[in-house]
Amino acid sequence: MNKRSLFKAGLAAAALAAFSLTAFAAEPLKAAWVYVGPVGDAGWTYAHDLGRKAVEKKFGAKVKTTYVENVPEGADAERVIRDLAAQGNKIIFATSFGFMEPMLRVAQEFPDVKFEHATGYKTAPNMRIYDASFYQDTYMAGIIAAQMSKTGTLGFVGSFPIPEVLRNINGFTLGAQTVNPNIKVKVVWVNTWFDPPKESEAAQSLINAGADVLLQNTDSSAVLQTAEKNGKYAFGWDSDMSAFAKKAHLGSAIANWGPYYERAIGDMLNGTWKTTRTVLGVPDGVNDLIKISPAVPAATKAQVEKVKAGLKAGKFEVFTGPIVTNEGKEVLAKGKTADQAWKDGVNFYVKGVEGKIPSGN
Amino acid sequence: MNETALLIAAALASGTPLVLAGLGLLLNEKAGVLNLGAEGMMLVAAIAGFAAAFHTGEAAVGFVAGAAAGAGMAAVFGLLVIWLNTNQYATGLALSLFGTGFSAFVGVSMVGKKLADQTPNAVPLLADIPFVGPAFFQLHPMVYAAMALAAVMAWFLYRSRTGLVLRAVGESPAAAHALGYPVRRIRFMAVLVGGALCGVAGAFLSVVYAPLWVQGLVAGRGWIALALTAFATWRPARVLLGAYLFGGVTMMQFALQSAGVQIPSQLLAMLPYLATIVVLVLISRNPVWIRVNMPASLGKPFHPGG
């Protein structure tokens, strides 16, 4: 190789590099979502997909989004996340608690890809977490539930006894107690996020046990439809479910993920992405209780609005002491408000919830 | 008191899809054909039934569509195993895998759709009797139809001539063939009726019980029905008992939870399977009965003149 050809080769290489740089700049950012259920579940996954669509709308040609639905939590999830990273997605969102460990393993293999996990608690240099505050929704739902209940017993269909779900049960109970201090809350666990016939059966058993207003932390509209069939009340969960039950629907506890997804993609495009833990809620426009039924008295609606305004202004905290467990132990002193660490460690039922938390999950 | 009545009603409703599918599979197996495709047939029938009920607003149309879809799936299976002599186990498994995927694929547009509201069910006069009314007489007509079907099936298999021939085909197809009975056609009819009943079970889940469509709605109930026929030693009355027992224990574990009983819910979730198997094994443990009831040629292909 003589000097001249070396020079030529160098020139060619420089041109190629320059060309690939400009090409890279024009390439849209590839972002992928991993869903635990079908997009059409009308609940949890559907809500996340609305967030994905909000990203497409806002960023247009700058992003290219894909999603994989119905991914089981476990070994399959790891394979799916790895595939998405290998296909050149630069940011991947995993939208279920059980995707945490698989995502963490894949994150270590792809240091130049950014990973985002919903509702978890583990981070890495290229993996961060985001979460909503559904307990703010359930607190508001509790106010309405206690007002509408004739039997003084509310029912809750739980998925798995993890801190998030326990916070939601406790928030629901505390909200209900502001209306009726003697309210009882019964809990039935189905040990699944999504099994409509089973969710219906659990709802039916709560109704049979005297509960007349139900709330659920599972992903289908089955509980709401079971309440409708029995002439009882219930709430929509994750997204607007008012269409599923004309009479039974008292309101829908929702999460509107768009604002967070837009923020995350913005961080990627501006190069400002860093590992954080983001807990969103009513103040961020993420959580809300919407479509409150006309059957709910105006005074109760006003009480809910007042709570909402307090949450928005940061003046109100759902978990404010004194908080006592249903075994009589004080977990938060009078006048204290819960911090994040306290909320992360919720492993008890507050006073008013019946029964004991199933051990081990 | 009233809670017990409601628990009984819930157990009967919960067991009904298992009764329907279990009896269908029993008929199949009595004719010597084992169809492991129950889960797939039920899923395809569930989406067909839901779509039909959604578009017409009639639950009855949903049941007809479900039965037709189940029979259609069974017809494919029957042609393969009866006339082409493919392996029954592999073909049945393939049918289940296909049905799972196919129902998810065609059902995409039906997810999140809502059926017309159901009218409450009540048998006139009887529904008003305290305790007995809410326990037994406020259920969907299909629940009673499933009970009647068990009686009809028992009569057909053990008291009718056609049933005797069908059992002969399941025991010794060669002997039945020698007597001039069309073994393959009889088996095919049994497979079709079995598929149709699995179809009605699937439609019951999506049209009445849930009532909604989502991917994988049947959630393993097809496999449970298959196990039920074997544990019930191929006797209709025991299929009925096992199905209601399974439904009953399922509902019982939820009721225990809502009553605040201190048992880990994961353990409770296991109970229905455990209790059903234990009870059926106990009442069916007589080896002579098992030999008498199990179709001798179950799962074996038949070649006339072979």
- Residue extents of the structural domains in chain B: 1-115+126-293
DSSP A296-359: S-HHHHHHHHHHHHHHHTT---SSBS-EEBTTS-EEE-TT-B--HHHHHT--SPBTTB-S-PPS
Residue A20 has pLDDT above 80, yes or no: no
Nearest to B211 among A41, A188, A225 (CB): A225
Whether B7 and A208 lie within 8 Å, measured CB to CB:
yes
Of chain B residues 186-225, which have a CB less than 8 A from chain A?
A: 205, 209-212, 214-215, 217, 219, 221
The more confidently predicted of residues A154 and A345 is: A154
Q: Give the per-residue pLDDT at B150.
A: 96
Give the 3-state DSSP-derived string for B41-72, with helices as H, strands as E and coil as C: HHHHHHHHHHHHHHHHCCHHHHHHHHHHHHHH
Q: Which residue of B has its CA nearest to A356?
A: B262
Q: Give the per-residue pLDDT at B267.
A: 79
Indicate the Cα dihedral angle A341, A342, A347, A351, nearest 10°.
-170
Amino acid in the structure at residue A255: A
In the β-sheet with A287-290, what is the strand arrangement from edge to edge? A184-189, A153-158, A213-216, A233-238, A249-255, A287-290
Amino acid in the structure at residue A347: N
Domains and CATH numbers, chain A: 29-132+257-284 (3.40.50.2300), 134-254+287-345 (3.40.50.2300)
Q: What is the third-level CATH fold of B1-115+126-293?
A: ABC transporter involved in vitamin B12 uptake, BtuC (1.10.3470)
Q: Give the per-residue pLDDT at B188.
A: 96
Q: pLDDT-derived band of residue B45, with 50, 70 and 90 as boundaries?
A: very high
Q: How many CB atoms lie within 10 A of CB B128?
A: 13
A161 contacts in chain B (CB < 8 Å): 265
Whether A41 and B254 lie within 8 Å, measured CB to CB:
no
Average pLDDT score over chain A: 90
Q: Mention every residue, 6+ apart, whose C-beta is less than 8 A from residue A308.
A: A140, A282, A288, A289
Summarised one tens digit per residue, pLDDT across range A83-140 is 999 999 999 999 998 899 999 999 999 999 999 999 888 999 999 999 999 999 999 9
Distance CA A115, CA A275 (A): 9
The answer to whether residues A242 and A229 touch, using CB atoms and an 8 Å cutoff, is: no
Q: pLDDT-derived band of residue B1, with 50, 70 and 90 as boundaries?
A: low
Of chain B residues 2-61, which have a CB less than 8 A from chain A?
A: 3, 6-7, 10, 14
The answer to whether residues A357 and A161 touch, using CB atoms and an 8 Å cutoff, is: yes
Q: Give the per-residue pLDDT at B30.
A: 94
Whether A225 and B262 lie within 8 Å, measured CB to CB:
no
3-state SS assignment for residue B286: coil
The more confidently predicted of residues B300 and B192 is: B192
Interface test with chain B among A201, A206, A215, by most B beta carbons within 10 Å: A201
Q: pLDDT-derived band of residue A361, with 50, 70 and 90 as boundaries?
A: very low
A244 contacts in chain B (CB < 8 Å): 114
| Angle subtended by helix axes B236-258 and B265-283, to nearest 10 | 160
Interface test with chain B among A71, A153, A194, A204, by most B beta carbons within 10 Å: A204
**Number of C-alpha atoms within 13 angstroms, CB side, residue B96?**
19
Whether B266 and A360 lie within 8 Å, measured CB to CB:
yes
Closest listed residue to residue A133, CA positions, set A338, A325, A326, A353: A338
What percent of chain A lies above the pLDDT cut of 70? 92
